[in-house]
Amino acid sequence: MARTNIDIDEEACALVMAQHGFSTKRQAVNYALRKAIIVPMTIEEAKAMRGTGWDGDLDEMRRFEPWS
């Protein structure tokens, strides 16, 4: 990591820190930067996943009662 001095929106930084439980501005800024570079998959990529299969028993999942 490199050390860089930047002017940031203090209010926005405080909101990110509060919402995500960060104790430092560094954590908040790094989190925001990483969130900004996440690119959602394209419609074409999503369509290409169609029919790739699923292993599971839906009836079994519906019968599962975690509270019992």
Q: Express each pLDDT in 27-58 by its tens digit.
A: 999 999 998 888 888 899 888 888 777 788 88
Q: What letter would DSSP give residue 41?
A: P
* Domain count along the chain: 1
In a domain, 18, yes or no: yes
Average pLDDT, the chain: 89
Q: Domain range for residue 16?
A: 1-50
Would you state the pLDDT for residue 68?
63
- pTM of the predicted model over 0.75: no
Euclidean distance between CA atoms 33 and 41, whole angstroms: 18
For residue 14, is pLDDT > 90? Answer: yes
In a domain, 57, yes or no: no
